[in-house]
Amino acid sequence: MQYLLNVIHDSAEFATEEEQAAIVVFNQRMKADGYWVFAGGLGVTDNATVVDNRGDEPLVTDGPFVETKEYVVGFWIIEAPDLDVALRLATEGSKACHRKVEVRPFL
Amino acid sequence: MNANEAVARAHREEWARVVATLARRFGDLDVAEEAAAEAFATAVERWPADGVPPNPGAWLTTTAYRKAIDRIRREDKRGDRQREAQMSYEAPPEPVGAVEDERLRLVFVCCHPALAADARVALTLRMVGGLTAAEIARAFLVQESAMARRITRAKTKIKAARIPYRVPDAEDLPARVVGVLTVLFLVFNEGYLATGPDADPVRQDLTAEAIRLARLLRALLPQNGEVAGLLALMLLTEARRAARVSPGGELVALDEQDRTAWDAELVAEGHRLVRERLDSGQAPGRYQLLAAINAVHTSARDFRDTDWSQVVALYDQLVRLDRSPVVTLNRSVALAELDGPAVALASVDRLAGQLDGYHAYHAARAELLRRLDRGRESRAAYDRAIELAGNTAERAALIRRRNGSG
């Protein structure tokens, strides 16, 4: 079963060197243990663009789909047997990157 | 025993086992719950006519199993292939650990930390306790439809997020047991001191259910000190129930309770558990300390006879484990009996910033001020306590104490 681990952040500051180093270590361990599927960091929501083509004309708007103080700054996609394993990895991941992590199961 | 009594008894004793066995077999709480409910409904119909089966638990499990298969077949006809996959899924045999009772897995699923606290309570009462959504809704004064939604939502999350149906690893077990105990303590406390303005002041159905679940947990985890501690705490509290509310509907404080009205059997059982934990030589946790404090209270022939130095010493240990200002407040109340109201008041007043919105803080201050002959301040504190108190019997007692304070 796959889970999305969203990394939640509330400022435009990048990860510190220490945080980056911890993330690298955590990523390597996830790969070694077979949980790793994919991961990525995301730019600030200022650079987001929303496209809505549900109507007659595609509508393009600047900014995120919803303005919030906290936003998704990166993510992991993992393969885990159940939520307990996903929560354990999220706990380690949160520690490594020093940010909150939201766990969401894929359908 | 007639057939109806046999069904009621089987419901008390077998419900959780039937749900747990089916949940394990089908990997689906929803299927398990519905099939169990159908099996009991069938028993209500059949047992009076056919007689009570020699092994009611096995009869119920087999009947529920057939009901579950029927339901899955019906849903398969509608093209739900996923269910079929689940049906053929057999969990690999696990190493036989210390605990293999299916009901324990069920308890841990229902109290999983990924579920909202109120959902854990509701799900535990439904799946393990066998209460209906309507009964749980009444107990917590919410609409039945809202309670049913809460339970459904929790079941959906368990399935969609794949909350595992198993006893946690040894590493996670202590923390997860604490989570389970929190749920049981919440149920008990809501019964012990109901919060709603329209609720009965003491909800015996809830305290009894919490004790029943704690006994079950104790049977499943006999070595766990905190499980024993919580059960002892509940028993020693429940033992005083008859003395806690006056015929006029007022809450009766410990110093005014008729101790002959206490339930001696429950007291004895609670004391046995506390002694067992003392004999274990292991450092006590929060519930064991609370149980020990209650054991001291229930050992005293009257209020003045209480070993207050022992009570305060136990609170000192508790404060080291639990920094909550409420614990410090309770310690201060005991301190008043040991070192006098002035010392206690100084200690209580230090909590003003944290506990200003808590009725028991103002009630404790009011009582100490009264004993220090500071009548005007005492009455003002009683007024604040009465304003904030949610429990009807507690309010009545506070009003009487205020009016009686010179």
Pairwise CA distance, residues B383 & B23, whole Å: 52
Pairwise CA distance, residues A31 & A52, whole Å: 36
The B residues from 168 to 207 touching A (CB cutoff 8 Å) are: 168, 172
Domain boundary among B52, B81, B110: B81
Pairwise CA distance, residues B331 & B333, whole Å: 5
Hey, is B178 helix, strand or coil? helix
> How many separate domains does chain B show?
2
The CATH number assigned to the domain holding B46 equals 1.10.1740
Size of interface A-B (CB pairs under 8 A): 25
- Tell me whether B114 touches chain A (CB under 8 Å): yes
Who contacts B237 (Cβ-Cβ below 8 Å, separation ≥6)? B188, B192, B207, B294
Who contacts B355 (Cβ-Cβ below 8 Å, separation ≥6)? B325, B326, B329, B361
Average per-residue pLDDT for chain A: 95
Contact list, B164 vs chain A (CB under 8 Å): 81-84
10 Å Cβ neighbour count for A58? 9
The A residues from 25 to 84 touching B (CB cutoff 8 Å) are: 81-84
Determine phi and psi for B113, rounding to 5 degrees: -65, -15
- Do the domain assignments include residue B210? no
Hey, is B390 helix, strand or coil? coil
pLDDT at B79: 61
Please tell me which residue of chain A has the smallest CA distance to B168: A84
Query: Cα distance from B104 to chain A (closest Cα, Å)?
Result: 16
Query: Cα distance from A71 to chain B (closest Cα, Å)?
Result: 21
Please tell me which residue of chain A has the smallest CA distance to B158: A83
pLDDT at B198: 60
User: Which parts of chain A have pLDDT scores under 70?
Assistant: none
Is there a contact between B161 and A105 if contact means CB atoms under 8 Å apart?
A: yes
- Tell me whether B100 touches chain A (CB under 8 Å): no
Residue B112: DSSP 8-state: -
Is A52 within 8 Å of A58 (Cβ atoms)? yes
Pairwise CA distance, residues B160 & B158, whole Å: 6
Contact list, B161 vs chain A (CB under 8 Å): 83, 86, 103, 105
Identify the CA nearest to B360 among candidates B195, B181, B121, B139. B195
Determine phi and psi for A41, rounding to 5 degrees: -100, 150
Query: Cα distance from A85 to chain B (closest Cα, Å)?
Result: 9
Is there a contact between A84 and B164 if contact means CB atoms under 8 Å apart?
A: yes
The residue extents of the domains of chain A are 2-105
Mutation target among A2, A3, A79, A83 for the B interface, most CBs of B within 10 A: A83
pLDDT at B94: 44
Is B99 within 8 Å of B217 (Cβ atoms)? no
pLDDT at B85: 45
- Do the domain assignments include residue B287? yes
- Tell me whether A105 touches chain B (CB under 8 Å): yes
Out of B112, B114, B162, whose CB is closest to A1?
B162
pLDDT digits (tens, 9 = 90+) for A10-39: 988 888 999 999 999 999 999 999 999 999
pLDDT at A101: 98
Please tell me which residue of chain A has the smallest CA distance to B115: A83
- Tell me whether A103 touches chain B (CB under 8 Å): yes
Fold that domain A2-105 belongs to in CATH: Alpha-Beta Plaits (3.30.70)
Q: pLDDT 10s per residue in chain B (406 long)?
A: 788 899 999 998 899 999 999 998 988 899 999 999 999 999 999 999 999 999 999 999 999 999 999 998 888 776 655 544 444 444 433 443 434 578 888 999 999 999 998 999 999 999 998 888 988 888 777 899 999 999 999 999 999 999 998 888 888 888 899 999 999 998 898 888 766 666 677 778 889 989 999 998 999 889 999 999 999 999 999 999 999 988 888 889 899 999 999 999 999 999 999 999 999 999 999 999 999 999 999 999 999 999 999 999 999 999 999 989 999 999 999 999 999 999 999 999 999 999 999 999 999 999 999 999 999 999 999 999 999 987 888 898 999 989 886 5
Query: Cα distance from A84 to chain B (closest Cα, Å)?
Result: 7
Contact list, A103 vs chain B (CB under 8 Å): 114, 161
- Do the domain assignments include residue B139? no
pLDDT at B55: 94
- Residue B274 in tokens: 């506390």
Is there a contact between A107 and B160 if contact means CB atoms under 8 Å apart?
A: yes
pLDDT at B90: 42
pLDDT at B99: 41
Residue B93 burial (10 A CB sphere; 0-12, 13-18, 19+): exposed
- Do the domain assignments include residue B267? yes
Query: Cα distance from B136 to chain A (closest Cα, Å)?
Result: 27
Contact list, A91 vs chain B (CB under 8 Å): none
Contact list, B168 vs chain A (CB under 8 Å): 84
- Residue B245 in tokens: 């509310």
Pairwise CA distance, residues B361 & B381, whole Å: 9
Pairwise CA distance, residues B390 & B395, whole Å: 7
Is B366 within 8 Å of B360 (Cβ atoms)? no
Mutation target among B112, B162, B173 for the A interface, most CBs of A within 10 A: B162
Residue B115: DSSP 8-state: S
- Tell me whether A106 touches chain B (CB under 8 Å): no
Hey, is B262 helix, strand or coil? coil
pLDDT at B104: 85
Backbone angle region of B306, left / alpha / beta, with phi > 0 → left and psi within -120 to 50 → alpha: beta
Please tell me which residue of chain B has the smallest CA distance to A87: B114
B182: enclosing H helix or E strand: helix B173-192
Is there a contact between B162 and A103 if contact means CB atoms under 8 Å apart?
A: no
> What is the residue range of B13's domain?
3-81
